[in-house]
Amino acid sequence: MLRLLTDDYFAFVRERLLAPVATLDILAYVINFQFYKKFYRSTQLFNLILSSKNKGARVRLILDSSPQVSPNHRTNLFTATKLKEHGFDVKMQTIPHPLHSKAFCFDSSLLVVGSHNLTQSALTNPLEMSVATDDPLIVKNFLSIYDRLYGSPITAPWSRKLWRKSSTK
């Protein structure tokens, strides 16, 4: 299967997260959700990721650690804090280059990769594009890269002491 996802990305990923999943590997540039806005697509996906973990899935997540001057810095620190509170092992890159990749890998057999951030604006923008594939070679290659990143010194487990808060003006 090879499928191009545009405005159907949210429904496609949501459907996969609603189904039982044993493993979930995520690369994210930014995850922006609002607990009090449950109708936000980004909040719905965030809650489904939490639910997958609570149901026993092994969830690994690598999140961008944007520079303090970036608008995403505070957003990702908030997200990392919330994920940590829910028992997630969140990793962030330790080098000064952005982790701009966006991907979900479900059960080491279905890969969704593309331009969609986990934000309300990206999940409602019909101009974003991602691809879903279950091609074993592509999924295997992705997981090889993901495993290298996850186990590499260029990513580290998130902790407040390693990533300072943004200064507000």
The helix/strand/coil state of 46 is: helix
Report yes or no on 163 lying in a domain: no
Q: How confident is the model at residue 148 (pLDDT cuts 50, 70, 90)?
A: very high
From 123, 131, 127, select the one nearest 42 (Cα to Cα).
123
pTM of the model: 0.90
Q: Assess if residue 166 is contained within a domain.
A: no
Q: Is residue 168 part of a domain?
A: no
pLDDT digits (tens, 9 = 90+) for 102-116: 999 999 999 999 999
In a domain, 169, yes or no: no
Residue 126 has pLDDT above 80, yes or no: yes
Average pLDDT, the chain: 89
Predicted confidence (pLDDT) at residue 169 exceeds the cutoff of 50: no
Please say whether the beta carbons of 149 and 30 come within 8 A: no
Q: Kindly state whether residue 167 falls inside one of the protein's structural domains.
A: no
Q: Structurally, how many domains does the chain consist of?
A: 1
Report the CATH number at residue 22.
Answer: 3.30.870.10
Asked if residue 122 belongs to a domain, the reply is yes
Report the half-sphere exposure of 7 (CA within 13 A, side-chain side): 4
Domain encompassing residue 137: 2-157
Answer with the residue of higher pLDDT: 36 or 6: 6
Q: Quick check: 105 and 166 in contact, CB under 8 A? A: no
Average pLDDT over residues 59-86: 83
Q: Is there a domain that residue 83 lies in?
A: yes
d(CA 125, CA 34): 18
Instruction: List, for residues 22-48, the tens digit of each pLDDT value.
Output: 999 999 998 888 878 889 999 999 999
* Domain-embedded: residue 137: yes
